[in-house]
Amino acid sequence: MAVRLGELLLREKRVTPTQLQEALTFQRANGGRLGTTLVKLGFLKDEDPVQVAEAFDITAVAQSASTLMDRLSATVSQLNSAVLRLDRTLLAEQSLSNLTLTVSNLKSVSDHAVDTMATIKEFLNTNTVSLSRSVTNFQAFTEKLNNVTVELHETVATNRVELTAAMKNIGRASERADRILQQVDEGKGLVGTLLRNEQMAEYTALTLSNLAVFSSNRGCLVLGSRYINKTSRKIESGVMPIRG
């Protein structure tokens, strides 16, 4: 009511805002009512009347309190309902079973993880020398590979002109081979003529056959000549008698 009285006094311009603030500060420090404090501080006289804008309506206050209590009761009911739903959801048998299963699975996963870490640690402790040697070999291999790469790069850089010329020669040789094959396909040139001309092909085949026969006969002659020479040497040495 002190704030209400202060508002009325400000509205009627019986006190200034500064005087009201000073009176409220004094009241908080020393206690007492606001009207008595204003009189003590000399801002009001004891017999000064104060016009109240409206009477204090206890019925309206009671109704407001009743409405507030109804709202509070509804809020409490909603809270009770939410707690019940939460209790049914979290503390239900299925929920507890699922929670137990989840905890069990987590424990199993944790145990597996611990076993795996122990196995890895044992492997590292057992194979420390081998792993160190492997890492050293890999480093040496990497260094050799780097050296080969550097040497290859230097070789290419040093012989760039020769390599470029060689590549050009290969390209020109490839072009010539393509032209020769094209001429052969078109029946041009000696090889193309031989392949395209049936009579020339027959002559070529016959010539190759005769060469094969001649080569075979020459082989026989060579063998016969060797046999005759061997026999002659035996006769001359008296190893093989001559029969009449």
How many domains are contained in the chain?
3
Together in a domain, 166 and 153: no
Block mean pLDDT (10 aa), the chain, length 244: 72 90 93 89 79 58 80 89 78 74 81 84 85 79 79 84 86 83 74 66 75 68 67 65 51
- On whether residue 134 sits in a domain, the answer given is yes
pLDDT at 18: 94
- On whether residue 86 sits in a domain, the answer given is no
pLDDT at 29: 93
Instruction: Go through 171-204 and write b for each residue having 16 or more CB atoms within 10 A of its CB, e for each that does not.
Output: eeeeeeeeeeeeebeeeeeeebeeeeeeeeeeee
Q: Are 25 and 36 in contact (CB under 8 A)?
A: no
pLDDT at 2: 44
pLDDT at 186: 77
pLDDT at 133: 83
pLDDT at 158: 93
Amino acid letter, 53: A
- On whether residue 185 sits in a domain, the answer given is yes
- On whether residue 89 sits in a domain, the answer given is no
pLDDT at 143: 84
* Structural domain containing residue 193: 159-206
- On whether residue 13 sits in a domain, the answer given is yes
Together in a domain, 163 and 123: no
pLDDT at 226: 75
Together in a domain, 189 and 153: no
- On whether residue 144 sits in a domain, the answer given is yes
User: For residue 13, is it left (φ>0), alpha (ψ between -120 and 50) or beta?
Assistant: left
- On whether residue 91 sits in a domain, the answer given is no
Of 52, 34, 51, the closest CA to residue 43 belongs to 34
Together in a domain, 192 and 146: no
- How far, in Å, are 102, 189, 206 from residue 194 at the CA level? 87, 9, 13
